[in-house]
Structure formats: structure tokens, C-alpha cells
């Protein structure tokens, strides 16, 4: 049979081991918490539990007409970003040539003066409406949720 001092040593060892294990668990769970600083990139918003994906359409260049309707030596250059789901990402990439063509046909009617008056938000709205109309006309579902203007240069 164990004497009192041996029993005390076993109980004390168990308490120290449990305390050390609990402390390690607390420390590790605290370290693994997402303590990102305020300027860090946050998790992408979700749609129906899915992350957004972003597909870019770079360097769409459109020659602008002068204010009298004739050809001008001014141009508009834009980079567009399409927000989609993971499932729609591949479809958007496959349709980038179609989206480029729609963008050029939509923005090529602008005159230099009108192009300089539109805000980025107005460009986004004009393009969004043009894409919605084109996909409806073709009886296709749009593979993206939204279009954003990544860059806009009017020269």
C-alpha cells in the first residue's frame, strides 16, 4: 500500500500536469485566434455560404468621338473586375472576349465630353445595365454578380 507521502506526490503530480495542460491549451487557443490588425485584409464576403471570386478584364481601350460626333484622337482605357462565385469564375474567364466586346460597343458611343462627365459609379451602372440586357437578349444567365471599375483613364 502507498504511504501518505507517495500518495501526496502522485496527486500533486496530477494537479501540476493538469494545470500545465490547461495552460498550454489556453495559450495555444489564444494564439490561434484571428487577431488581424485593422488594416489587414478581411475575409471575403459570402453569398449563400460561398466566397466571392474576382476576375479581371484588363486594358479595354476605346477611341472616343469628339463632341460633334466625328472621330477624335482621345481614348478611354479601363480595367474591369467581375465579382462572381467559385462556380461562376470559370464561366466568366471563358466569356471575357464576349464581355470585352460588350464593353467596347457600350462605351464607344461616348463623346470625349460625355466620357469626362461620368463618374466611376455611373460607368459601373451603364456597363451593368448593358451586360444585363445582352445576357437577357441571349437568354443566358449572367455568370457574375457585379462589375466594378478597377481603372479608368480618359486621355
pLDDT at position 34, please? 47
Q: Which residue has the higher pLDDT, 48 or 75?
A: 75
pLDDT at position 83, please? 94
Tens digit of pLDDT for each residue in 67-109? Answer: 776 666 788 899 999 999 988 899 999 999 999 999 999 988 8
- The mean of the pLDDT values for the chain is 77
Tens digit of pLDDT for each residue in 30-39? Answer: 444 444 444 3
Q: Distance from CA of residue 148 to its chain's centroid?
A: 9
**Confidence category of residue 47, pLDDT binned at 50, 70, 90:** low
pLDDT at position 49, please? 61
**All 3 cell numbers of residue 148?**
466594378
Q: Quote the CATH superfamily of domain 46-154.
A: Band 7 domain (3.30.479.30)
Going by the DSSP 8-state scheme, the letter that residue 141 receives in this structure is: -
pLDDT at position 37, please? 42
Q: What percent of the chain has pLDDT over 70?
A: 66
How many angstroms separate the Cα of 56 from the Cα of each of 59, 94, 96?
10, 12, 9
pTM: 0.64
Q: Domain ranges in the chain? A: 1-39, 46-154
Q: Which residue has the higher pLDDT, 38 or 59?
A: 59
Amino acid at each position: 500500500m502507498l504511504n501518505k507521502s507517495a500518495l501526496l506526490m502522485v496527486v500533486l503530480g496530477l494537479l501540476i500536469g493538469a494545470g500545465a495542460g490547461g495552460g498550454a491549451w489556453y495559450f495555444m487557443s489564444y494564439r490561434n485566434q484571428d487577431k488581424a490588425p485593422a488594416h489587414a485584409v478581411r475575409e471575403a464576403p459570402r453569398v449563400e455560404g460561398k466566397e466571392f471570386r474576382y476576375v479581371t478584364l484588363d486594358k479595354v481601350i476605346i477611341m472616343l468621338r469628339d463632341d460633334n460626333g466625328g472621330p477624335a484622337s482621345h481614348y478611354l482605357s479601363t480595367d474591369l473586375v467581375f465579382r462572381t462565385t467559385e462556380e461562376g469564375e470559370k464561366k466568366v474567364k471563358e466569356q471575357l472576349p464576349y464581355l470585352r466586346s460588350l464593353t467596347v460597343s457600350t462605351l464607344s458611343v461616348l463623346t470625349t465630353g460625355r466620357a469626362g462627365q461620368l463618374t466611376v459609379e455611373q460607368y459601373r451602372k451603364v456597363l451593368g445595365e448593358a451586360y444585363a440586357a445582352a445576357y437577357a437578349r441571349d437568354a443566358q444567365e449572367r455568370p457574375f454578380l457585379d462589375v466594378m471599375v478597377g481603372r479608368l483613364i480618359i486621355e
